[in-house]
Chains A and B, each alone.
Chain A
Amino acid sequence: MRSCLVVALVLCAWLPGPVRAHDLQHSIDEATAVSVRLFFADGRDFGLESYEIYRAGEEMPFQVGRTDVRGRVVFLPDRAGTWRIKLFSQDGHGGDFSFITGARGDVQGGSKSFLERHLRIIAGVSLIFGVFGLISLFARRGGEAGDAHP
């Protein structure tokens, strides 16, 4: 009887550890998260696509998953610094960019404006004309006027 009691006491002392290993606990807390929204130039959401988030300089992802249906990635940075997001869709769309957050999830250098995109298009077209303007300085003169031919 005494030995049974000892065994029971030992089991009671030992069992909670292994049992806890299978008992998934949870806590619900308030926190400030960083929300990154991914969308195409026409405004459509990059929804339900794969992403990976990395701390600067690390190869093991900090977080992986899929964007929500509105194309958002929400995560809780555990320290201030640079974060890298890699995004993939099955058809080869995606991106790879970095941004800086503070320790409390405050973001530095957020969104790009609609106007900025249009200014860049104008800059691109201007550069193309500029490059061909330079090429024309070295081109042969004369010849047929319409050299474009199939």
Chain B
Amino acid sequence: MHIPDGFIAPQMYLPAYGAAIGLWAYGLRRLRTALREETIPRLAVLTAFCFVLMMVMLPLPGGTSAHATGIALLAILFGVWTAFISVSLVLLLQALLFGAGGVTALALNALAMGLVGSAAARYSYLLLRRVHEGFGLVVAGWLSVNAAALLMALALGSQPLLAHAEDGQPLFFPFGLSITLPAVMIPHALVGIGEGVLTLLMFRLLSQRGWVSQP
């Protein structure tokens, strides 16, 4: 799901960095007030869990591959801003250590996965848990993947319009929205089901371990 270097035009990644820097600063302030010393080891463990999950690629029909993220779990347990900072750290390390997701695309990846994905997961869970907690967790997991994937498909598919040579040749990602939307969304609709089930199972495990305190 990570967008690599060379896919996104400066017209998009520079404003994304502008927005992300402000949101990272705000998120760090929120993190500092929200976290307690006792919570940090749990957040560290789940952040490391996200990092490893994102490195495990699952083959999908059609020759593509995808991975779970654990972002919904982070957002549900620790809140959107803490999840945003943690996921941004994971994405930074993946970009620097593996080249998985580019440095130029880091802000866009962080905004899509860390912020939009987290917010979609947390608020859908808070809404749906009144109906059925398990259902809310599965939907949260599915949405965390697919809200981020939709944003990325839109970002990728708009590149030929944003940056092209005089003869119309795309300078960055070459495929338009009519290709990126189905190519990105269909596999992630499947991955989202796995992410939802993973969120449900992990949440229940962590509840049994006393990591979750219901308000």
Contacts and interface: CB of A to CB of B under 8 A. Distances in A.
Interface residues of A, number: 45
Residue picked from A88, A97, A144, A147, most chain B C-beta under 10 Å: A147
Contacts of B33: 140
A141 interface: yes
Interface string B153-175: 10010000000000000000111
A150 B48 contact: no
Contacts, number: 150
A129 B44 contact: yes
Contacts of A140: 33, 35-37
B4 A41 contact: no
B125 A150 contact: yes
A140 B41 CA distance: 13
Interface string B119-135: 00000011001000000
Contacts of B102: 96
Contact of B215 (A42, A131, A136, A149): A149
A12 B23 CA distance: 75
Contacts of A93: 4, 64-65
B118 interface: no
Interface stretch (A27-35, A75-83, A102-110, A119-127): A119-127
A10 interface: no
B180 interface: yes
Contacts of B65: 40, 42, 44, 93
Interface string A87-102: 0111111111100000
A21 interface: no
Given A40-B57, A124-B94, A145 B214 contact: no
A26 B184 CA distance: 41
A63 B197 CA distance: 44
Given A123-B97, A132-B40, A135-B40, A144 B213 contact: yes
A103 to B, nearest CB: 26
Interface of B: 1, 3-7, 31-44, 47-48, 51-52, 55, 57-59, 63-65, 76-78, 89-90, 93-94, 97-99, 102, 125-126, 129, 152-153, 156, 173-175, 179-180, 183-184, 187, 206, 210-215
Which 6 A-B residue pairs are closest in the complex by CB-CB distance? A96-B6, A132-B44, A147-B39, A90-B183, A91-B183, A143-B36
